[in-house]
Amino acid sequence: MTKENRPVQGSESAGDKPARREETLGESIRYFCVLLLAVFAVRSLVVEPFNIPSGSMIPTLQIGDFVLVSKFSYGYSRFSFPFSPNVFSGRILNSTPHRGDVAVFRFTRDTSVDYIKRIIGLPGDHIQVTGGKLILNGIEVPRTALGHYEVLDENNRLLSGDRYRESLPGSAGGRPTVEHDILKLTDEGFANDTPEYVVPEGSFFAMGDDRDDSADSRFQGDGPDDLGFVPMQNLVGRAPIVLFSMDMRHPAWQFWYWPTEIRWNRFLHSVT
């Protein structure tokens, strides 16, 4: 009787490799869909990056800043989701914003456009600007002069004015006082001498920190850039931090300028 030469079960002869299982097309599609769903969930429910393309929030935010926006700060509306599907109205898990928050929201005249401004007034607040000074509920908001300030805007135009530290009264549940910087270029013009506005229920009043170069809630007419009162439903989220920042004065394809355009001092810069 002969014996068969068989390898011991479970062992491999020298040089043999286990067969590699090939991934099927269906599995690849499934993995891609899971990844896509995860990205969608994070961007819709947790955080989303936004680029700052204009100078309306100078000096707090610079052109070329990339801010991380907290999507869960105020709850969720249809504008929290990509493409803003009109599947429900109002807000889920609604939380009222605080006076002084820097928030991203949808433009009132075109909800496909994102705006970022500071929330100055909440429902019931009386807002007015007189002689370039902000009046909140009949009291002038204190500010301290910090000196001259110059910067170029998105059109390479020089903004030359004075920088102030403004002490905005906070709101219930938030900071008692919100200390932040503003830029003043002039005390002339409509934006510096407005009527008194009363913020209606379900809305807020937003202004840019670059007070004389911002299309914001001071403009209540029918012009294409007039913001008016912003419905709470339009809120996307709060911007608490700058992830990174680039000067971006050269075309993107000129990559050799990239290292010199990075603003290293603004990495993980807190937004106040």
Known catalytic residues? 56, 117
* 3-state DSSP of the chain: CCCCCCCCCCCCCCCCCCCCCCCCHHHHHHHHHHHHHHHHHHHHHCEEEEECCCCCCCCCCCCCEEEEEECCCCCECHHHCCCCCCCCCCCECCCCCCCCCEEEEECCCCCCCEEEEEEEECCCCEEEEECCEEEECCEECCEEEEEEEEEECCCCCEEEEEEEEEEEECCCCCCCEEEEEEEECCCCCHHHECCCEECCCCEEEEECCECCCCCCCCCCCCCCCCCCCEEHHHEEEEEEEEEEEECCCCCCCCHHHHHHHECHHHCCEECC
